[in-house]
Amino acid sequence: MENGKGALAKGLTNGIGCGSTEFHVLRAKEDNCPGFIYQVAQSHAIRQKAEMRMSGSAGQQRVQAEFFKTHRVHIPKPPEQRRIAEILTTVDEAMEQTEALVGKLEQMKAGLMHDLFTRGVTPEGKLRPTRQQAPHLYHETPLGWIPKEWEVKPLGHLSEIVSGVTLGSKLTITGGVRVPYLRVANVQDGYLDLSDVKHITVTPAQLEKLALKSGDVLMNEGGDFDKLGRGSVWQEEITPCVHQNHVFRVRPKAGILRSYFLAFWSQSEAGKRYFILNSKQSTNLASINSTQLHKFPVALPKLSEQEQIEGRIAALKGKIDIETTHLAKLRQQKQGLMQDLLTGRVQVNIPESS
């Protein structure tokens, strides 16, 4: 194992494998079940204790072999070990299948977005022929070749872009209003995490200016460079609510630009490329400013086509969300089972044949 990561060695050629100084090899003794030992080594409890015993220089810390030689764990009889391993392995397999399905759907979404944002959709609901098949349907722009009916306009011409409230002010606010506000941590890659929303006191004027409305697209000023600028659409999940200054609020102009179309466009290849090339980057982090966001080029179809494009992407994203939620539930179920079964808190039924 390396810093808690592990695998159960199976299907080795001639039953032989080679180790490395980069990980520890745990081998079940006598009648003990290898699958059970693997599950114990992967448990949250043992990984947490192992992290506390790590030694070495920063960035090169390791768990010493002595930890595994001296750490004590609950070891039931071999038949019970095998049954516990079977139960937990079944959940592992379900998780692997769901992870594979999510990965496949993500690939399908990437391919769909590429086609939709380069070819668009006809009034009949079909993808346009490719440029190679029908070059007369396309024109060249700074974004590359796009359908002839589309325009390219800077985001600042298509929306109102506002930075949020600045935190840490020492001024006393008379007649202030205490309201929830969104931080960078709340605006994730294409979705909102509202599990931990902080509050702040603002003036009535600030609340009027910064209050979020349904359809606002939220974009972080900084973060991981590969996730910078990804839009998340606000649907008034909390009312009232404002945003901090490191989160841009983009309010599309009605009748010109649709919110989800913009959010998906910001996640497209063209969107990613713009934010990566125009951001200020440091180690693993990047940032953009208001000027750069105002200049963000948007390929703009008519509203009816925007609606068709966002509908197709949203439908596939909905499937991904369902499977992702299912995966999260499986992981939670696995953690609960490990806590119950690996500690002996809950006994398992052993078939008589065992």
Q: What sections of 240-302 are H helices per DSSP?
A: 259-266, 269-278, 290-295
Domain boundaries, the chain: 1-73, 77-149+301-347, 151-300
77-149+301-347 placed in CATH 1.10.260.40: no
Instruction: Please give the pLDDT value at position 2.
Output: 46
Q: What is the pLDDT of residues 7-47, one digit of tens each?
A: 777 766 666 656 565 677 777 788 889 888 889 888 888 77
DSSP 3-state of 44: helix
Do the two domains 77-149+301-347 and 151-300 of this chain adopt the same fold?
no
Report residue 282's pLDDT band, with 50, 70 and 90 as the boundaries: confident
Dihedral class, residue 75 (left if φ above 0, else alpha if ψ from -120 to 50, else beta):
beta
Nearest to 142 by CA among 151, 134, 133, 129: 151
Q: What is the pLDDT of residues 197-223, one digit of tens each?
A: 999 999 998 999 999 999 999 998 887
Nearest to 120 by CA among 147, 141, 140: 147
Instruction: Please give the pLDDT value at position 21.
Output: 59
Give the CATH H-level superfamily of domain 151-300. DNA methylase specificity domains (3.90.220.20)
Instruction: Please give the pLDDT value at position 1.
Output: 43
DSSP E strand stretches across the chain: 138-141, 144-147, 151-154, 159-163, 177-182, 198-202, 217-220, 222-223, 232-233, 242-243, 247-252, 280-282, 285-287, 297-300
Mean pLDDT of 70-75: 82
